[in-house]
């Protein structure tokens, strides 16, 4: 009965989310359905709820996601994002390089609607490159997301790392070569025509100034990366430090204290994405109830009995869940607890890397993916044309990751 309850709960979450119900509400309703159908008992269910809501991992994840969502808005409002883009354009006067770097840079900041922000820049460079609208749309989407597989601040990377008790660097290590291979394939496939330099090269004496501007604009993220990767500071504390730096920067003519007070108010009232924060909270609640039901071990045994190769299972379920949900974070949180008992501990990192890739690929081509919808609208191209252009580099990424995993397992 517990397996049936989990299946119904999963189906309910996916159905409700795909119909436009807020993800946090879908997860909350799914948790209630699971509690009713799993025959856990009131006491066990209440214990799982308390554990899920107040577990230190839950608190840290919720704090980290809230802070990162606020950081994205703060960097846009304080001018750091504009400074980074402007300095990068001056440093790299090449249309092909800019078409790759600008979407990736804006993607790192994770600004909502960022695909539309980079689209005009890709379009401008696309005229120099003589690329059609569908190719420009594919360039914008592929390079906006390609860095997520090796980016330690990516929300699904953070979530999988915590749920699987695996360092982010372990996932990044196994995603590095497939990502570089996909970048090469995307470059060869999407940039087929030669191009001349985008304007005159910058004078040598200006390179240092533009480089310093870029570092200043990027300083909040650099601080987070340094604190996490070099000093091994807990991620939520590093995110708080990076956010504080962003709030203090570029106060203009205002006194720093007054500017900070105004920005803190906007952070709490506007900049933090509370829907995303609630989604993480109720995702961890759902996970706790699933684990308390004892169904993960049962389901793992059932799947093993069907003799389906684990890489195929990960690819199919990962891509399918994120494609239907149109949300990589939800797919990561739902699937990680189920695959954890199936994955050999010695091969946890390469399997986690493959799971992240499968989830992201299903999400990237989902009709519910906001970046895809906005980009298609901007370039006035149909869904199928853009997905066909994206397919070659994305399949190259998946193939490289799968081959790498097979070599590890040999």
What DSSP string runs through 102-154? HHHHHHHHT-TTHHHHHHHHHHHHHHHHT--HHHHHHHHHHHHHGGGGG-TT-
Q: How far apart are CA 81 and CA 208, in angstroms?
A: 19
d(CA 40, CA 397): 42
**In the chain, domain spans:** 143-199+294-410
Taking Cα atoms as reference points, which of 140, 130, 132 lies closest to residue 194?
Answer: 130
Contact by Cβ (8 Å): 376, 365: no
Task: Give the model's pLDDT for residue 201.
Answer: 47
Compute and round to an integer the Cα radius of gyration of the chain.
22
Digit-by-digit pLDDT tens for the chain (410 residues) are 567 777 888 788 878 877 878 888 988 999 999 888 877 888 889 999 999 999 998 899 899 889 988 888 898 888 888 888 888 888 887 888 888 998 988 787 665 556 767 787 788 788 888 899 999 999 999 999 999 999 998 989 999 999 999 999 999 999 999 999 999 999 999 998 665 554 444 444 578 888 999 899 989 988 988 898 888 888 899 999 999 999 999 877 778 888 899 999 999 999 998 988 898 899 889 888 887 887 666 666 666 677 889 999 999 999 988 888 778 988 898 899 889 988 999 999 999 999 999 999 999 998 878 788 888 888 989 999 999 999 999 999 999 999 999 999 98
- pTM reported for the whole predicted model: 0.81
Neighbours of 204 (CB within 10 A): 7
Exposure b/e, 100-138, CB count within 10 A at least 16 = b: bbbbbbbbbbbbeebbbbbbebbbebbebbebebbbbbb
Q: Which two tokens stand for residue 193?
A: 């025509």
Half-sphere exposure of residue 410: CA atoms within 13 angstroms, side-chain side: 6
Burial classification of residue 41, based on how many CB atoms lie within 10 Å of its CB (0-12 exposed, 13-18 middle, 19 or more buried): exposed
Two structure tokens written together for 230: 């070099």
Work out the end-to-end distance of the chain between its first and last CA atoms, rounded to an integer number of angstroms. Answer: 38
Among residues 303, 370, 288, the alpha carbon closest in space to that of 30 is found at 288
Q: Name every residue whose Cβ is closer than 8 Å to that of residue 146 and which is 6 or more positions away in sequence.
A: 104, 179, 182, 183, 186, 393, 397
Both tokens assigned to 126: 């696309």
CB–CB of 306/48 below 8 Å? Answer: no
CA pair distance 206, 200, nearest whole angstrom: 13
Q: What pLDDT shows up at residue 296?
A: 64
Q: What is the pLDDT of residue 151?
A: 92
Compute the residue count for the chain.
410
Work out the number of other CB atoms within 10 angstroms of the CB of residue 239. 28
Using CB atoms within 10 Å of the CB of residue 42, give its burial: 0 to 12 exposed, 13 to 18 middle, 19+ buried: exposed
Q: Are 365 and 383 in contact (CB under 8 A)?
A: no
For residue 368, the model assigns a pLDDT of 76
Residue 198's pLDDT is what?
Answer: 47
């Amino acid at each position: 009965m517990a397996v049936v309850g989990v299946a119904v709960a999963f189906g309910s979450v996916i159905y409700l989310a795909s119909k436009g119900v807020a993800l946090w509400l879908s997860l909350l309703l799914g948790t209630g359905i699971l509690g009713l159908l799993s025959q856990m008992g009131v006491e066990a269910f209440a214990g799982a709820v308390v554990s899920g809501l107040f577990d230190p991992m839950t608190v840290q994840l919720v704090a980290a996601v809230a802070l990162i969502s606020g950081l994205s808005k703060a960097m846009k409002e304080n001018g750091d994002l504009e400074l980074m883009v402007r300095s990068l354009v001056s440093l790299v006067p090449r249309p092909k390089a800019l078409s790759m770097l600008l979407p990736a840079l804006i993607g790192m900041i994770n600004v909502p609607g960022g695909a539309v922000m980079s689209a005009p820049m890709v379009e401008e460079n696309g005229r120099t490159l003589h690329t059609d609208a569908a190719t420009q749309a594919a360039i914008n989407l592929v390079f906006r997301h390609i860095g997520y597989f090796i980016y330690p601040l990516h929300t699904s990377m953070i979530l999988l790392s915590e749920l699987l008790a695996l360092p982010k660097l372990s996932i990044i290590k196994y995603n590095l070569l497939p990502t570089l291979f996909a970048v090469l394939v995307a470059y060869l496939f999407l940039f087929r025509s030669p191009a001349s330099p985008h304007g005159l090269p910058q004078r040598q004496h200006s390179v240092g100034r533009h480089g310093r501007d870029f570092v200043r604009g990027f300083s909040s993220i650099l601080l987070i990366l340094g604190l996490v990767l070099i000093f091994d500071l807990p991620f939520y504390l590093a995110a708080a430090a990076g956010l504080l730096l962003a709030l203090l920067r570029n106060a203009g003519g205002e006194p720093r204290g007054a500017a900070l007070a105004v920005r803190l108010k906007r952070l709490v009232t506007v900049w933090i994405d509370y829907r995303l924060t609630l989604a993480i909270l109720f995702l961890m609640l759902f996970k706790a109830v699933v684990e308390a039901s004892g169904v993960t071990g049962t389901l793992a045994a059932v799947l093993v009995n069907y003799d389906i190769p684990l890489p195929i299972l990960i690819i199919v379920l990962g891509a399918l869940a994120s494609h239907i949900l149109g949300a990589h974070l939800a797919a990561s949180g739902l699937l990680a607890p189920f695959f954890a008992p199936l994955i050999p501990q010695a091969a946890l990192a390469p399997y986690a890397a493959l799971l992240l890739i499968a989830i992201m690929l299903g999400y990237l081509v989902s009709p519910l993916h906001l970046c895809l919808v906005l980009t298609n609208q901007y370039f006035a191209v149909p869904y199928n044309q853009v997905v066909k252009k994206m397919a070659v580099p994305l399949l190259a990424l998946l193939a490289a990751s799968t081959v790498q995993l097979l070599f590890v397992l040999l």
